[in-house]
Structure formats: C-alpha cells, structure tokens
Amino acid sequence: MNSSEKKKQKEAFKAAYINKIEEVSGDCLAESSVLKQYQALAELVMDDITTQWAKSNTKYNKHQNKQVYFFSIEFLIGRLLKSYINNLGLEDIVTESLKELGLDFTAIQEQESDPGLGNGGLGRLMACYLDSSAAMDMPAHGNGIRYKYGLFEQRIINGEQVEVADNWLRNGYPFEIRKPDKAVIIKFGGTIHSEKINGNLTFVHENYEPILAVPYDIPVKGYHNETVNSLRLWSAETLEDFDLPKFNQGQFLDAVRHKSEAESISQILYPNDNGFDGKLLRLKQEYFFVCAGLKRIVRRYKQFNNNSMDGFSQKICIHINDTHPAMCGPELMRILMDEEGFGWDDAWKMTVESISFTNHTVLPEALEKWPVSMMKSLLPRIYMIIEEINQRFTQEIYAKYPHDMERNYGLSIINNDQIHMASLAIVASHSINGVAELHSKILREETFKGFYQVFPERFHSVTNGVTPRRFLMNSNPDLKDLLNESIGTQWQGNLFELKRLLNYLNDPIFSDKFNAVKLSNKIRLAEHIKKHNNLIVDPASVFDIQVKRIHAYKRQLLDALHVLYLYNQLKENPHLEIAPRTFIFAGKAAPGYYYAKQIIRLINAIAKMVNSDKTLNEKIRVVFLENFNVSLAEIIYPAANVSEQISTAGKEASGTGNMKFMMNGAITLGTMDGANIEIAEAVGPTNIVTFGLSSDEVSQYEKYGGYRSIDIYEKDPRIQQVMHQLIDGTLGFGLNFQNIYDSLLLHNDTYFVLKDFNAYVDAQNRVDQLYRNERTWTKMSMTNIAHSGMFSSDRSILDYQREIWKII
Ligand SMILES: *Cc1c(COP(=O)(O)O)cnc(C)c1O
C-alpha cells in the first residue's frame, strides 16, 4: 500500500468511526466515554467481518467441504477486538487513525471483557485450534455453552483467594449474533415407551421437560485471508417466559421459578480444572450442548444435501474435546434411529465414522463416571442407547477373548452402576488421541491398555500447540518487528521458519536488540505489578514465572519451598552471590479445593515476609498476581526469563503454557513430563534445564511403593528447616500450614515434592549460573524461539487433518 492510499484509507476509517460513535452513544467524539469508543470500534470491526462471514458460509454450503465441529464444554477465547483487527490486516490503519484522533487504543481495548468460558488449558486449546483452522482456510467450528457467568474473578484479600462472580455480559457483547430462528428444543426427564407405527418399532418420549436452546454465534476470523468460521455457543431458555396459567392464578413466584430453573443450565461454568464434579446440573449442561449442536448439524446437512443423510460421515467430523461431550455417541444414534429412521447397524457405522476423541488427562479424580440412576432419570432414551451400545460391545469382546474375563470386565462401559464416559467415548469413535507423546504412551500402556489391545488402530497422538498470532505476534509486537526486520516475514505463515534465527546466535547487534525487547516486556509487566500489587520489582532481575491453575500435581509448592529455602540461605549469608530474582506466581484455585487455596496463602505469606525484609538487599522478590486469565497471560509470557513447568512426571498431559513461554524466549525449567519432553528434544539438552523423577520412576513407586518422604526429611536439615517454617509461625502470626506439612510427611507426599526437592535446588542453581553468563543465556533464549515452530497450533491442526479427520 502506498502512502497516499493509506492516507485515504485512514480518512475513510476515521469518518466511519466518528459516525459510529455518534450512532452508538448519541455523543460526539469529544464527549464520548471510553466504553462507547470501544463499542463503536467493535461494531465497526463486526461490520467488516460479517460481510466476509456470509461469503464464507455460502462457500461452505455450495462446495460441501468436509466440516469439522469441535464439541467442548469450554472455550477460553480471550479478548477478540485486537485479534480481529490484526487478522483483518487493519492493524496500522486503526492504530494510526486512533492516535491521530487523540484516542488511547490500549484503554479502549481494556474495555472489552475477557470471556472466562473455560478453566485453563483445555478451553484455551480449543480457542487456539479455532484460530489455526481459520488461519489455514479449514472449515472447523466450535460448539459449546454460552455461560452467563464465566470462571470467577479472583481477588487476593489478606493473602487469600476470594471469588467474585464474572458478569462478563454486563455491558453486552458486541461479537455475538443471537439466532433465535435456529433454536432447538432439548428434552429432559420423562418416560420412554415403544410402539409399532406403520410396522416399525418406534420410541416415544413423554412427560419430558422441554428446554429451549438458543444459539449465539461468534465469528472466527482467519489471519489475512477470507475465511470466517463460527463458534456457536448455546444459551438455555424457557419455551415461554412465564408459565401463564400459574401466573394467572397468582402463583407469581412459581411461574418465575420455572424460568430460572430452565435458565440455570447455562448460568455458570463449573470452576474445576482437571476434576470431576458429578452434579446433576453438570450432566444437564453436557447433554444440552451435545443435543443442540448435533441437531443443528444434522439439519444443516440435510438442508444442503437434498434432504438426505447420504454421505454424512464422509462430510462431517464431530471432534469431542475430552469426555464432557461423550454423549455425542448415543445422541447421534438417537437422532439417526428415532428421527431419521436408520436401523442400528447403519446408524452405528455413521456414528463411529463421524466421531473422534481427544483425551486430556490421566488423573483418576478427573475421569467422568455418572451414576446409572442419574442418567436413567434425566436422559431415559440416552441411557437405553448406552446400555445397548455396551451390550453389543461386551458381547463382541467376550466372543473374541473368551478366556480373559477380568480384562473384559474392565472394558465394560457400565460398571458398578456407573457409566464410564471415557470408555463410551472410545467405543463410539474411530479415533482417540493423547495430547503429547508421553501422554499418548501412558494412554496406550496404562489408562486405556485394554482398549488399545482391542482397537490398536484407533490410537493416535497429536501434540498440543498454541497460536503464534495471539501469543507471539499480538502479545509481543516488539519481538514480531525484530523478527520481521531480521529473518523476514515468512515465519508468520509457517512458524518452522523461525529456524532462521539460528543464523543470528553470534550476532552481537541482533543480540542487543533482542535483549532490549525482553527488557521492555519485563518493564511492561513490572508496571502491572506496581499498579496491582503496589510493589516495585527490578526489570533487570531474573523473571522466574509459574502461572497456571493451582493444583497439587503442578507443584507450585515445590517452587514455593525453594523460595523459602533460598530466603534461608540469604539470611545465613547475605553476601551469597546470585543473580537477583523475581519469583512470579499467578493462578486460580477451584473454590472447593482447600489444599490449593492453602498454597495460594502460603505463596502470599512467603511474599510478604521476603518483600519486607530489608536485609536481603532486594536479591529476591516474590509476587502473586491476582486473577490469571488470557489477558493477563498475554502480558506475562513475553516477560519471562524462566518458565516453571515442574509437574510430577506423568501427570501433566501436555501443558501449553510451556509452549507460550518458549515462543517468547523463556528457558524451561521443567520435569520430563508432557510436552516438556518434546521441547527438550527440539532445543537439545543445553537449552533447557530439566530435573527430577521420570514418569517411569513415579509409576514404579506408585505401583510397588518404596518411597518414604520421612526418610528424606530426616536426612536433610535444609528440608527440616523449611518444613518447620510451615508450622512454627515464621510466616506470620497465627499462620499455620499444618495441612501442607501433613500432606508432605504424614500422607507420604503424593506428588513427590520432597523426593524432587534436591534435584530442583540443583537445577535452580544451574539456572542462576547460566543467567549470569549473558551471552549464553541470550543464545539459549534465541534457540528456544527458533525451535518453537513445532509448537504452533497450525502444526497440531495439520496433524489432526492428516491423521484423524483425513481431509485432503
Ligand atoms: C495457556 C493457559 C493455561 C494453561 O497453562 P498450563 O501451564 O499449560 O497449565 C491456563 N490458563 C490460561 C489463561 C492460559 O493462557
């Protein structure tokens, strides 16, 4: 674009924007609030996108490409305004125009609420996959729930987590389109009876409670292309706002109760990450978006296929994200048999051919098991079909392996009056995959060993990835510019091209610029810390960061105990030579997870003690940032020097935070777990710091015993000291972490924190040594970015396309 053309575009944009502001606010630009400035910009952007959206949909309808639908109970999409603007290629036009109008673009962006429609990695992965699919012109869409309240907002008050409702729709949401004309009815409860209609056995559902599912569509705009896909989120409503007869009889509250009970289905996201909450309302949520999504997909398919279901499973991929949508199997069977008139065998073939399944965790407490009684009364027809699926499957297995009854029993979908959703998902899909090499291996050899023997061809592995648009280009614009001016722009279309950076490892001018970018990102984070924690941290210190959900298996405790240990060292020897460090933590604990909340308290207590101790000469600082979400993540990852990925080996399926850190040049300090192993392979052993038990060692101890945490405690005075400090009042008057203390000694340290402690301290010392050699550290950092190509979600999507969805 030449400069006069650009000028013309900017003038046109400014005129349209000023108009829009007047339209949405009734005020002229000078008097408009920042909120109205945001809403006007959002609407202007939506005007552009919806035009392309309509074209994209027409194209999909005409050509009948294979369509992928991600079914997920979470989509953690983050703010969209900036990402739309960049994907439209309007970054310069908008940024410069707003500046010329004297407006603050950053403040405008901060008006957007960050939809917390997910807990962490699982929901964020879906958002990355939608972004990548659209960027690569692949027709892939999302299907989920439009929670009225997303994940709670976290406040830290007196060192403790306090939860506040997340009313993200308070000011409306400009990027969704409500489509009441596409609403469908979902049936709960009631009874099933069968009758012969025209000689066919037909199942009739009676006395059910009908709930209306209304879709809201959010456009998913591809990067610098014409593709716009859809994220469809369903909202629950009553069929009629009030129960009129009741209302007329004066039973006003009863009439309203019906409404609020119906709407409760999409009222709130369950706040457990990697945990199963077997509540009836959750089961309703699961069926609600599964049924609504499948009904629309079938209807659309027939609409553009001469009212026929022919070829359905060749054109439609139903991809289920973990087991929450596992009822896709029985529900698709129900639709095909009860509504479309197929017999069992044909319906089953179509179902298995359409569905594929990604498993996300091997933690036993996260595996979904629903009581038969609950399923039977809430979803009587679905239960009948699950029973039939199980009957046929177990018969097949018994016929094939008559001498292995114990193994056969373990494969039953229904066991001890519980329905095992992972087993259902495996039996009803043609593909199951883990999310990193190690995780997929554990699925084959441990978690789903029996199923692997029966269906070896169904098992795959696709390592997770993250979108470089959001987590590099948009959140680290200075790095993006530096890369563009040195290695060119090809990496923006193919992240493997970042390998070209290796040519600059010994270039001192580039290294200086590279370090300046990191420093400016650290200054940006330091400003956030000053503003929110009222604490000054030194941007020249090592930013050592652990941000993720708080969970025992992720071992924030190990990190915290090391800080305490280092504090003790510095108290003993104030002249200890270390590179100054700032330990930064952030993450939410599930509201009912007492242990995780105690960890937050502990970190804040350590922070208070360390930060107020003048004798340490500011060698260490500890920060807990409240309310970790996607927006905060975008400021944190680019500012990191050290990426803490220290889960107990074998427990973190993949991790994606590790990839976002790496892409922004942080050095991983991690266990050989999840995708850390693949990061280590990519960068080589000299560009990562690893430590601790292997997953094989962990599983040996778990199976055969042989680990006694008390033995380690008794041998090591350094460990004794930090352990005592948990309970002797060191960390504040009346503050006692007995519960954490007991978990490590009395309950034998389930996650091997003490077992890995010494190895972790050694690894931390290595980090310190490496950082103090600036040349070495800079090279390591550049090398990490150079090898991050394989952790782009574009690569993940290509793997799914090739291996699982089979789209040519
Ligand atoms: C990436 C991300 C996560 C996942 O982090 P892990 O370190 O992989 O657990 C969780 N929450 C947010 C907001 C993220 O952006």
Q: What is the pLDDT of residues 492-503, one digit of tens each?
A: 999 999 999 999
Asked if residue 283 and residue 202 are part of one domain, the reply reads yes
CA of 279 to the centre of ligand 1 (A): 25
CA of 311 to the centre of ligand 1 (A): 38
Question: According to DSSP H, which parts of 612-694 are helical?
Answer: 630-636, 657-663, 676-683
CB atoms within 10 A of CB 784: 25
What integer pLDDT is reported at residue 246 of this predicted model?
63
Binding site membership of 362 for ligand 1 (Cβ less than 6 Å): no
Q: Is residue 251 predicted with pLDDT exceeding 90?
A: no
Identify the band that residue 255 occupies on the pLDDT scale cut at 50, 70 and 90.
Answer: low
**Are 757 and 712 a contacting pair, CB within 8 Å?**
yes
Of all atoms in ligand 1, which is nearest to the CA of residue 471? 15
| Closest residue to atom 9 of ligand 1, CA basis | 548
Residue tagged active-site, from 447, 656, 668, 783: 656
Q: Is residue 651 predicted with pLDDT exceeding 90?
A: yes
| Mean pLDDT (whole number) for 519-534 | 98
In sequence order, the 6+-apart residues with CB closer than 8 A to the CB of 748 are 707, 708, 709, 710
Of all atoms in ligand 1, which is nearest to the CA of residue 76? 13
CA of 491 to the centre of ligand 1 (A): 24
Asked if residue 119 and residue 109 are part of one domain, the reply reads no
| Closest residue to atom 7 of ligand 1, CA basis | 657
Instruction: Report yes or no on 745 lying in a domain.
Output: no
Residue from 797, 463, 789, 469 nearest 655 by CA: 463
Phi, psi (deg, nearest 5) at residue 580: -55, 140
| Mean pLDDT (whole number) for 148-157 | 98
Out of 74, 75, 76, 625, give the residue to mutate to test ligand 1, the one with the largest number of ligand atoms within 8 Å of its CB: 76
| Closest residue to atom 12 of ligand 1, CA basis | 120
Asked if residue 245 and residue 129 are part of one domain, the reply reads yes
Binding site membership of 465 for ligand 1 (Cβ less than 6 Å): no
Q: Which amino acid is at 257?
A: R
Cα separation, 417 vs 482, in Å, equals 60
Burial per residue of 118-133, b for 16 or more beta-carbon CB atoms within 10 angstroms, e otherwise: bbbbbbbbbbbbbbbb
**Are 647 and 558 a contacting pair, CB within 8 Å?**
no
Least confident interval from 64-73, 318-327, 581-590: 64-73
What integer pLDDT is reported at residue 62 of this predicted model?
78
Domain around 534: 468-694+756-791
**Are 117 and 123 a contacting pair, CB within 8 Å?**
yes
Instruction: With H, G, I as helix, E, B as strand and everything else as coil, classify residue 369.
Output: strand
Segment 37-62, tens digit of pLDDT: 999 999 999 999 999 999 999 988 87
Segment 721-761, tens digit of pLDDT: 999 999 999 999 889 999 999 999 999 999 999 999 999 99
- Our answer to whether residue 284 is catalytic in this structure is no
Identify the band that residue 807 occupies on the pLDDT scale cut at 50, 70 and 90.
Answer: confident
Q: How many residues does the chain have?
A: 808
Segment 553-580, tens digit of pLDDT: 999 999 999 999 999 999 999 999 999 9
Q: Is residue 347 predicted with pLDDT exceeding 80?
A: yes
Cα separation, 345 vs 223, in Å, equals 42
What integer pLDDT is reported at residue 341 of this predicted model?
94
Binding site membership of 655 for ligand 1 (Cβ less than 6 Å): yes
What integer pLDDT is reported at residue 409 of this predicted model?
86
Asked if residue 403 and residue 529 are part of one domain, the reply reads no
What integer pLDDT is reported at residue 63 of this predicted model?
67
| Closest residue to atom 10 of ligand 1, CA basis | 120
Of all atoms in ligand 1, which is nearest to the CA of residue 547? 7
Asked if residue 177 and residue 219 are part of one domain, the reply reads yes
Binding site membership of 689 for ligand 1 (Cβ less than 6 Å): no
Binding site membership of 120 for ligand 1 (Cβ less than 6 Å): yes
Identify the band that residue 200 occupies on the pLDDT scale cut at 50, 70 and 90.
Answer: confident
- Our answer to whether residue 548 is catalytic in this structure is yes
CA of 655 to the centre of ligand 1 (A): 7
What integer pLDDT is reported at residue 30 of this predicted model?
93
Enumerate the β-bridge partners of residue 235. Answer: 214
Domains contained in the chain, number: 3
Q: Is residue 254 predicted with pLDDT exceeding 80?
A: no
Instruction: Report yes or no on 700 lying in a domain.
Output: no
Identify the band that residue 406 occupies on the pLDDT scale cut at 50, 70 and 90.
Answer: confident
Q: Is residue 404 predicted with pLDDT exceeding 70?
A: yes
CATH label of the domain that carries residue 324 = 3.40.50.2000
What integer pLDDT is reported at residue 459 of this predicted model?
98
- Our answer to whether residue 480 is catalytic in this structure is no
Sign of the four-CA dihedral 60, 314, 323, 600: negative
Instruction: Report yes or no on 491 lying in a domain.
Output: yes
Asked if residue 26 and residue 109 are part of one domain, the reply reads yes
CB atoms within 10 A of CB 703: 9
Asked if residue 58 and residue 22 are part of one domain, the reply reads yes
In sequence order, the 6+-apart residues with CB closer than 8 A to the CB of 710 are 745, 748
Q: Is residue 538 predicted with pLDDT exceeding 80?
A: yes
For 545: left if phi > 0, alpha if psi spans -120 to 50, otherwise beta; the answer is beta
Instruction: Report yes or no on 739 lying in a domain.
Output: no
Instruction: Report yes or no on 642 lying in a domain.
Output: yes
The count of C-alpha atoms lying within 13 angstroms of the C-alpha of 474, restricted to the half-sphere facing its C-beta, is: 25
Instruction: Report yes or no on 570 lying in a domain.
Output: yes
CA of 142 to the centre of ligand 1 (A): 19
Asked if residue 221 and residue 353 are part of one domain, the reply reads yes
Residue tagged active-site, from 549, 551, 581, 787: 549
What integer pLDDT is reported at residue 561 of this predicted model?
98
For the record, the structure tokens of 155 come out as 């406040």
CA of 295 to the centre of ligand 1 (A): 32
Cα separation, 382 vs 200, in Å, equals 20
| Closest residue to atom 6 of ligand 1, CA basis | 657
Question: According to DSSP H, which parts of 267-379 are helical?
Answer: 280-303, 312-315, 328-334, 344-354, 372-378
Asked if residue 452 and residue 472 are part of one domain, the reply reads no
What integer pLDDT is reported at residue 201 of this predicted model?
86
Segment 587-646, tens digit of pLDDT: 999 999 999 999 999 999 999 999 999 999 889 999 999 999 999 999 999 999 999 999
DSSP state of 715: H
Segment 683-698, tens digit of pLDDT: 999 999 999 999 999 9
- Our answer to whether residue 79 is catalytic in this structure is no
Cα separation, 648 vs 615, in Å, equals 34
Q: Is residue 675 predicted with pLDDT exceeding 80?
A: yes
What integer pLDDT is reported at residue 796 of this predicted model?
98
What integer pLDDT is reported at residue 258 of this predicted model?
74
Instruction: Report yes or no on 126 lying in a domain.
Output: yes
The average confidence (pLDDT) of the chain is 96
CB atoms within 10 A of CB 382: 22
- For the CA atoms of the chain, what is the radius of gyration? 27
Binding site membership of 656 for ligand 1 (Cβ less than 6 Å): yes
In sequence order, the 6+-apart residues with CB closer than 8 A to the CB of 667 are 641, 642, 643, 687, 688, 689, 767, 770, 777, 780, 781, 784
What integer pLDDT is reported at residue 244 of this predicted model?
60
Asked if residue 356 and residue 222 are part of one domain, the reply reads yes
| Closest residue to atom 4 of ligand 1, CA basis | 121
Q: Is residue 175 predicted with pLDDT exceeding 70?
A: yes
Phi, psi (deg, nearest 5) at residue 703: -80, -45
Asked if residue 92 and residue 190 are part of one domain, the reply reads no
Asked if residue 285 and residue 413 are part of one domain, the reply reads yes
- Our answer to whether residue 549 is catalytic in this structure is yes
Q: What is the DSSP string of 197-244?
A: ETTEEEEEEESPEEEEEEEEEEEEEPTTSS-EEEEEEEEEE-SSSS-H
CA of 610 to the centre of ligand 1 (A): 27
The residue behind tokens 């049936």 is: 187
Of all atoms in ligand 1, which is nearest to the CA of residue 554? 9
What integer pLDDT is reported at residue 245 of this predicted model?
64
| Mean pLDDT (whole number) for 269-298 | 97
Q: Are strands 642-645 and 620-625 parallel, antiparallel or unpaired?
A: unpaired
Percentage of the chain beyond pLDDT 90 is 92
Of all atoms in ligand 1, which is nearest to the CA of residue 630? 13
Instruction: Report yes or no on 448 lying in a domain.
Output: yes
